[in-house]
Amino acid sequence: MAEIRVSRLEQGQTKFKTVPIAVTPEGFWCCPSPTVFHKTIKTQQNPILSKPKSSLPTQTTLVEKKQTPVTTEKKPSSNSTSSRTDSLTPEQRTHSSDEPVVNPPLTNEKQPRSKPENAPPRKVSIEFGEAKTSDLKVILLGKQGLAVKLSVHRSVLVENSDFFARKISGQQPIFPCLEIDNCEDVEIYVETIGLMYCKELKQRLIKQSVSRVLRILKAGEQLGFTRCVQSCLEYLEAVPWVGEDEEDKVVSLVSHLEGEGIKVKPVLKRVSPDISSNPPNDTFSHILELVLKSKDEKARREMKSIVLKLLRENNNNNNLPSTSSTSSDSCSETIYSSCRISLDSLLSFFRQADQEVEKIKLLEKPIALEADNLLWLLDILLDRQAADEFAVIWVSQQELASIHKKLPVVSRRHISVITARLFVGIGRGEILPNKETRYLLIKIWLEALIEDYRWLQHGCGPFDRKVVEEGIGRTILTLPLEDQRSVLISWLGSFLRAGDDCPNLRGAFEVWWRRTFVRPFVLALTPLSCEKTCTTDILKLGKLQKLPKLRLNYKNSPTYS
């Protein structure tokens, strides 16, 4: 809180300009208009812009923190005035200070002008209140030379403000003047003191902005104006907050409020859930269930996109509580539980399609829906870096893979999209399954992916062929060299038969070739015998009579990990 001092308002000390204000039935000003406040400040800070009302010179002095003796020589006329003022009692002298300062009559003698460099800084002075009915003066000294005098009532301030009650209770003068130095927000202090005269504070705050109410709340808390603080909290609890910045300001200020009778929980409940009644994991599980079981395709896709985006933001913010190990594990368990439910439904649809061929067309839509759900859950796990177990679950679906071969491509192609996404994840290092899992993924699902590849390019929405092929190639190159050879030799036969309808793994093939023939690290076989063995296997493919000579440029070829 700013420093407060008790002083007397002497005549001629400062000239205040009275500003038109709204007056309450009690005869006191209340809540001056911010427009009038700023307009007055601007006018007084730029006197050139305001038109002079008379030719008489104006007399402007300063509100000084301490009285300084006047050392300049005065004329007899001023001495006589001073002697009359000194003869007054303190009470009369204070009363006389409430009257407007009258400019001295114009004389023939010219007053000496002080040099600009010696002139004290100008202070903007404004007066609020009804001086005739008040019994207390409060002067607020703000930054940039702003001084505001308030003519107030002692009883009102003592009744509403703990701060003023403490400062006024020990002062005996009938007409004291309280001076508050270094006010950070003079305008809001003026309005807050004015609100002490209002019975319905909430009605006065309705048309205010959230930022301004926060300023009033801060001033009310510093002045110990509990009724104002509570009204501001009621306003903030009811009014919408616009944007995260405004929300952060409200929460930051409200959460630090202290005092008896101040209820901040209704405001903070907007951003702080009741964990005891609604655990976050149960809420997240319920959201997943609603999205996965949605019947409207457009709404389902939109909510999947929104939830995935929000989870990514949550994962990127390491300061959020939900990123703790316990919460993260609980969330992953919820996702895997949904994965198993979708897999069971998918396998059930495949069994029905295998047993009753006439129902295949009817089952295409539910199969596509469950496959899309699994793909969405896999994307969530990949973002959370927790998809290793999904790869293990997927390679264990041997029954699903066996039935997959029997169904028409139009019904089964969505399953291969999941396989392709796993290959991309492994190729990018987003998934780190063990060697056995990677090998089984290729052994069980790569052939099915190759058979569906033509449909994936033209019938499964957005499909980035280059990314998928790079992911498959990199996954193959993580296997031991002998496994790479068997997989790539098998792929070469499919590629030579299908062409563009087969994944083009040329980059992986070139890397394997160099590892085998150009710069082998393990010399279990001589280069000549190794080359002879591999060439024999390649020449057996199809009706190949002669393998075209490969001109390999190691530096310009794709890089694989």
CA distances from 49 to 105, 140, 143, 148, 327 (A): 25, 25, 22, 21, 64
**DSSP-based three-state secondary structure for 258:** coil
What gap in Å lies between CA 319 and CA 309, rounded to an integer?
17
- In the block, which residue shows the tokens 């809180």? 1
Q: 202 phi and psi, to 5 degrees?
A: -60, -35
Q: Is 261 left (phi over 0), alpha (psi -120 to 50) or beta?
A: left
Strands 146-152 and 136-142, bridge-based pairing: antiparallel
Q: What is the pLDDT of residues 181-230, one digit of tens each?
A: 888 888 899 889 989 988 888 888 888 899 999 999 999 999 999 999 99
Of 429, 435, 330, the residue nearest 385 (C-alpha): 429
- Most confident segment among 83-92, 170-179, 250-259, 506-515: 506-515
Question: With the CA atoms of 365, 366, 368 and 371 taken in that order, what torsion angle do they form, in degrees rounded to the nearest 10?
Answer: 180
- The predicted-structure confidence for 330-383, as pLDDT tens digits, reads as follows 888 999 999 999 999 999 999 999 888 888 889 999 999 999 999 999 999 999
d(CA 77, CA 501): 110
pLDDT tens digits for 263-297?
888 888 888 876 555 667 788 899 999 999 998 99
Q: Which residue has the tokens 């020449």?
A: 539
- For the 17-37+120-199 domain, the top CATH level (class) is alpha beta
537 confidence band (pLDDT: 50, 70, 90):
low
Distance CA 425, CA 419 (A): 10
Backbone angle region of 272, left / alpha / beta, with phi > 0 → left and psi within -120 to 50 → alpha: beta
Whether the Cβ atoms of residue 431 and residue 388 lie closer than 8 Å to each other: yes
Q: Where are the domains of the chain?
A: 17-37+120-199, 208-215+226-276, 283-315+328-518
What span, in angstroms and rounded, lies between the C-alpha atoms of 340 and 509?
36
pLDDT of residue 246: 93
Distance of CA 136 to the CA centre of its chain: 46
Instruction: Look at residue 33 in the predicted model and tell me its pLDDT.
Output: 52
pLDDT score, position 533: 53
> Model confidence at 256, in pLDDT bands (50, 70, 90)?
confident
CB atoms within 10 A of CB 561: 8
**Tens-place pLDDT, residues 393-443:** 999 999 999 999 999 998 899 999 999 999 999 999 999 999 999 999 999
Residue of 164, 152, 147, 175 whose CA lies nearest to 9: 175
Contact 471, 426 (CB under 8 A): yes
pLDDT at 325 over 60: no
Query: For position 58, what pLDDT does the model report?
Result: 34
Q: What was the pLDDT predicted at 173?
A: 56
* Per-residue pLDDT tens over the stretch 129-149: 777 778 888 888 887 677 888
User: In sequence order, what DSSP letters do the residues of 339-374 get, joined into one string?
Assistant: HHHHHHHHHHHHHHHHH-GGGHHHHHHHHHHHHHHH
232: confidence class by pLDDT, cuts 50, 70, 90? very high
* Phi-psi sector, 140: left (phi>0), alpha (psi -120 to 50), beta: beta
Question: Which ranges in 239-359 belong to alpha helices (H)?
Answer: 243-254, 265-268, 280-292, 297-316, 325-355
Checking if the pLDDT of 521 tops 60, the result is yes
- pLDDT, position 376: 96
Predicted local confidence at residue 59, as pLDDT: 33
Residue type, 119: A
Compute the average pLDDT of residues 78-107. Answer: 38
pLDDT per position as a tens digit, 477-513? 999 999 999 999 999 999 999 999 999 999 999 999 9
At 129, which helix (H) or strand (E)?
A: strand 124-129
Amino acid making up residue 451: E
- Report the alpha-carbon distance of residue 367 to residue 524 in Å, rounded: 48
Range of lowest pLDDT (118-122, 250-254, 384-388, 389-393): 118-122
The per-residue pLDDT for range 4-31, each reduced to its tens digit, is 454 444 444 444 444 444 444 444 445 5
